[in-house]
Chains A and B, each alone.
Chain A
């Protein structure tokens, strides 16, 4: 069974630009969560989608948005990039996204904003 796939692995963008990251979950998983990981803050929850609906949202500005498609693939978009958006963005899929259902992570997209 293929794992969670995130593309691209690395991105370098300039302040003010926008970026779109992609995540393909494990086949059959309907929940997709996004996290931002930085050395100082650790893993911070961005949002979670289930069956194309945003079910949970973290405390990030509106510049961070996402969506999920009918095949459960998900994208997140960051507009008007700031230097502080430089981070590792991790996507995780889960069968149902509740209880003790584990998160299965991709290897992330490393975003650098210059």
Chain B
């Protein structure tokens, strides 16, 4: 069982559409990170959210951390083919040297 549940697992949309992907858990996190992995490459960090209710924007990407710090969402406005990739949420429990654990990811395909 994944501690981080990501949905949907697959998403195929047309260029110009908006979309939201979700990262949910029953656990409370001190922070969550979002990574994007493009085909043939390793994941790249997009953002870290730390405060409950926090909203961060990265161009057309909007990240939100839930008030209770148990969930997060990523909203993409006017998706472009360059947004195609695997979107992963991840956490590292605070205290000591903890590993980073990833959700299974949302595979997004944006069709031109």
On chain A, the number of residues with a Cβ less than 8 Å from chain B's Cβ atoms is 25
- Find the B residue at minimum CB distance from A103: B100
- In the bound complex, residues from chain B placing their C-beta under 8 Å from that of A58 are 99
B37, chain A: closest CB distance, angstroms: 8
A87, chain B: closest CB distance, angstroms: 14
On chain B, the number of residues with a Cβ less than 8 Å from chain A's Cβ atoms is 25
Within 8 A of B (CB), among A41-89: 41-43, 45, 48, 50, 55-56, 58
A55, chain B: closest CB distance, angstroms: 5
Check if B103 sits within 8 Å of A42, measured CB to CB: yes
Give the CA-CA distance A50 to B99 in the complex, in Å.
12
Tell me if B13 counts as interface (CB < 8 A to partner A).
Answer: no
Check if A107 sits within 8 Å of B99, measured CB to CB: no
Known: A42-B105, A100-B33. A56 touches B43 (CB 8 A): no
- Find the A residue at minimum CB distance from B47: A102
Check if B40 sits within 8 Å of A107, measured CB to CB: yes
Check if A43 sits within 8 Å of B88, measured CB to CB: yes
- In the bound complex, residues from chain B placing their C-beta under 8 Å from that of A92 are 42, 100
- Find the B residue at minimum CB distance from A4: B42
Give the CA-CA distance A106 to B40 in the complex, in Å.
10
- In the bound complex, residues from chain A placing their C-beta under 8 Å from that of B105 are 42-43
Mark B72-108 against chain A: 1 for CB-CB distance below 8 A, else 0: 0000000000000000100010101111111111000
Interface centre among A33, A103, A107 (most CB of B within 10 A): A103
Check if A45 sits within 8 Å of B43, measured CB to CB: no
Give the CA-CA distance A108 to B43 in the complex, in Å.
10
Check if B50 sits within 8 Å of A48, measured CB to CB: no
Contact of A102 among B48, B97, B102 (CB under 8 A): B48
B105, chain A: closest CB distance, angstroms: 6
